[in-house]
Structure 1
Amino acid sequence: MKKIISISLISLLSLIIFASCNKKVKEENISNLNWEKIVEKAKGSELTLMMWSGDPFINAYMNNYVIPEVKNKFGIILNISEGQGSKIVQILMAEKEAGKNKSELDMMWINGETFYQLRQIDALFGPFLEKLPNSELIDFNNPFIKYDFQQPIDGMECPWGNVQLAIIYDSLKVTDPPETMEELESFVKNNSGVFTIPTEFTGMTLLKSMLIAIAGGQEELNGDFDETKYNKYSAKLWEYINRIKPYFWKEGKTFPPTLAQTHQMFASGELYFTFSNNDSEVDNKVLLGLFPNTSRSYVLKTGTIQNSHYMGIVKNSSNKAAAMVVCNFLISPEAQLKKMNPEVWGDGTILDINKLSDDYQNKFKNIPQRKYSLKRDSIQSKALMELAPEYMIRLYSDFRKYVIEK
């Protein structure tokens, strides 16, 4: 009897190990399935997307359009969880250290330094991009889409939108907005308390644009992170910021931690300026009634960063098929057209319009025009490529060290 039980236990254990290995193989081999099989596998899935949720227009686009559409079209229940950047990295790092083989996240909205950090800890599934039928429509001839903070995306993330940093101001209060760092210094010193820099992604993107200006142009900082160059030019940047900091909001003794707070202070008139990584955002904020209709946007003469944002899929997601289907929908002409409308979101498309059907080409050409933002073609010549991700990571820590805590 003991021998029979032992054999049974061994057989049972073998079956469990086999089932576990077989499941792992199936998970790993999902990229070998054709698209029809992937769509079929995705049906009935429930997955979690972690993304920044600080903008009401973006939230409405996701909640009122994307979530219902992927449920109706593909039977996928998409849940959205608030979080970005460091939070995503911390969650996936903690799961990795705990040895978890199933993540609480399935996909996430990322770019730049987060993409870099997630690849460092091997937390991304892929390459998967070429499996998406709509990936053939992406404008990969555009270097602002093809590269993410100068990193080839290698099919490990899916382009979702393309934007350029803009400075937003109230034209009723600022008749001649400063277009250079010298003009900004003069303005801030003559108009104390109405300017500041948020300490989050958008604020750091502004500082990165200034760093490029101080370095004399894009070419000086292109390529891999250069410690010597960073130290040289960032020292000049901190000297500049600290020189005008006493004239900032609250005398530069504190800085807004979020862009939403900066927007709110601009809307109330406490600040004369705010910022956006979306060059058309001022339009939807006026339409929303948050910003006064005297709000306008511009870019610095020396240029501002243009970049793309992406969707990534978690390596330990148990819903990879559903995540791929959602990604494919997000880059469909239908979803991109709706997203690009400034009355909906105003996010720039990553599609090559010339690859679309005549019907969709006409629809894209007839998107409502911006009323308060500069048109993209008028600022494209001032678009700066993103720097290597380490520059952004260092700006976050050094801004706190050399400016906030100084």
Structure 2
Amino acid sequence: MKKSFIAASIAATLAFTNPVQADWQDTLVQAEGQTVYFNAWGGADNINDYIQWAADRIKDKYNVTLKQVKLTDTSDAVNRVLAEKAAGKNTNGSIDLMWINGENFRAMKDNQLLFGPFSPSLPNYQKYVNENARQSLTQDFGTPVDGMESPWGMAQVIFMHDTATLSKPPKSMVELLAYAKQHPGRITYPEPPQFLGSTFLKQALYELSPYRKALSQPVDSVDFDKITAPLWAYLDQLHKVAWRNGQTFPSSAEEMMRLLDDQEIDVALSFDISAASVQIDKGNLPDTVRSYVFTGGTIGNTHFLAIPYNSSATAGAQVVANFMLSPEAQIKKQTPTIWGDLSVLSYTKLPASDQAKFDALPRGIATLSIEELGKTLPEPHSSWVGALEKEWRKRYAQ
């Protein structure tokens, strides 16, 4: 009670001097005591551990309870909000915050399922995010963000190999196929629509199709069959010499790393640049494993936090999103043995003390530096994901 009274008093005082700051103090007052149900992919223990660390800090700092609802597919949460809207449940929804990007964000935005705009009003967004630094901060797979989601981290596709058994890994899709033909059964990728499997399709399409510019356009505005023909021709060849003859595919990056550890395959991939370092630290990969990227670049994107329109804790959700943009949270998140996720904060906007903390982060034995990550390829328009997955399943699903 005392804490609420003090916060309310501060808000009243600031209203006369700084309306923006006063609005945020009002948000803090409203958030106190709220429970935020955070729907987030729960497939990696280190990420779940990070979310729990953040929950503990948020509870301590703001008296907001963050509860993770672990998902296997983010589209499940999108469908739940859509069903609640269809049922007229426009308040007290079951989801307060979502980890989201790409086609899931587009579906939420197109169906008016989002609260906002809210991200530009977050104090840490104003302080530390430079929208001009990267297109993916304002364009989520080609869909304008418009303040309807708050950036949380950046990722890029990396590949892994065990240097003890493979000294010179393939560094393009063409080289990958050549290697697979020379070493049958040693190459694979996750099964779409698992997001990394779908990303493998996009990576291959970028490298193989001569119509790269068309990928930034909505898929129904271009000749899909013509543009994707080289991709299917490539996969037809790859599957014949792939792990288990292309009849079975790994379910995730984690399974690929287990296969790499068991020496069943020679190359694994992840959207987490520190995945290899984390798994080496946990004893799940040998310390001879190293990460690398393709010579022509690999696909990268930004992932976000969004608030459903019918959330019952919009104030608490904004407090969580703001904390996730704090230097404290972003430094912790970029620590290679914690998560290793690339920060969305602008280094030049940080105070010197926080710059020094980022500089001092250990890189991890198998984590690539920013320079080593090389060229980042942009995500195609989000409409490509569903079209590619549908065609893949039509051709290859068992």
Per the TM alignment, residue 85 of structure 1 is displaced from its structure 2 partner at its CA by 2.3
Counterpart of 2:386 in structure 1 is 393
Tell me if the contact between 1:279 and 1:376 (Cα under 8 Å) persists in the aligned partners: no
Task: Please say if 1:57 is aligned against 2:43.
Answer: no
CA spacing shift, 1:331–1:218, aligned 2, 3 Å: farther
What is the alpha-carbon root mean square deviation over aligned residues?
A: 1.8
Tell me if the contact between 2:46 and 2:339 (Cα under 8 Å) persists in the aligned partners: yes
Matches of 2:224 and 2:33, distance apart in 1? 49
Amino acid in structure 2 at the alignment position of 1:133: P
Q: How does 1:172-211 map to 2 (within 5 A)?
A: 172-199=164-191, 200-211=194-205
Amino acid in structure 2 at the alignment position of 1:383: T
Per the TM alignment, residue 336 of structure 1 is displaced from its structure 2 partner at its CA by 0.4
Counterpart of 1:139 in structure 2 is 130
Per the TM alignment, residue 257 of structure 1 is displaced from its structure 2 partner at its CA by 2.6
Matches of 1:145 and 1:169, distance apart in 2? 31
> Normalising to structure 1: TM-score of the pair?
0.88
Task: Please say if 1:80 is aligned against 2:68.
Answer: yes
Matches of 2:363 and 2:256, distance apart in 1? 26
Could you list the runs of 5+ residues in structure 1 that have no partner in the other structure?
1-30
Counterpart of 2:8 in structure 1 is none
Q: 1:259 aligns with which of 253, 256, 262?
A: 253
Q: 2:56 aligns with which of 59, 68, 72?
A: 68
Matches of 1:112 and 1:99, distance apart in 2? 26
Tell me if the contact between 2:209 and 2:227 (Cα under 8 Å) persists in the aligned partners: yes
Tell me if the contact between 2:59 and 2:65 (Cα under 8 Å) persists in the aligned partners: yes
Counterpart of 2:16 in structure 1 is none
Matches of 2:254 and 2:368, distance apart in 1? 22
- The residue matched to 1:349 in structure 2 has which SS? coil
Matches of 1:33 and 1:319, distance apart in 2? 19
Matches of 1:264 and 1:375, distance apart in 2? 24
Q: 1:283 aligns with which of 277, 283, 295?
A: 277
Tell me if the contact between 1:149 and 1:386 (Cα under 8 Å) persists in the aligned partners: yes
Counterpart of 1:109 in structure 2 is 99
Matches of 1:215 and 1:33, distance apart in 2? 52
Tell me if the contact between 2:274 and 2:367 (Cα under 8 Å) persists in the aligned partners: yes
CA spacing shift, 1:33–1:234, aligned 2, 3 Å: farther
Task: Please say if 1:318 is aligned against 2:312.
Answer: yes
1:357-394 deviation per Cα after TM superposition (whole angstroms, max 9, x unaligned): 111111111211232132122223x2101110011111
Tell me if the contact between 1:241 and 1:403 (Cα under 8 Å) persists in the aligned partners: no
The answer to which of 393-402 and 151-160 deviates more is: 393-402
Tell me if the contact between 1:218 and 1:384 (Cα under 8 Å) persists in the aligned partners: no
Task: Please say if 1:120 is aligned against 2:110.
Answer: yes
Counterpart of 2:15 in structure 1 is none
Per the TM alignment, residue 339 of structure 1 is displaced from its structure 2 partner at its CA by 0.6
- The residue matched to 1:34 in structure 2 has which SS? helix
The structure that has the greater radius of gyration is 1
Q: How does 1:162-177 map to 2 (within 5 A)?
A: 162-177=154-169
Matches of 1:90 and 1:373, distance apart in 2? 36
Per the TM alignment, residue 78 of structure 1 is displaced from its structure 2 partner at its CA by 0.8
Tell me if the contact between 1:214 and 1:233 (Cα under 8 Å) persists in the aligned partners: no
Task: Report the number of matched residues.
Answer: 373
- The residue matched to 2:219 in structure 1 has which SS? coil
1:148-175 deviation per Cα after TM superposition (whole angstroms, max 9, x unaligned): 1122210000000011111112222222
Counterpart of 1:36 in structure 2 is 25
- The residue matched to 2:37 in structure 1 has which SS? strand
Q: Percent identity?
A: 34
Tell me if the contact between 1:168 and 1:275 (Cα under 8 Å) persists in the aligned partners: yes
- The residue matched to 1:81 in structure 2 has which SS? strand
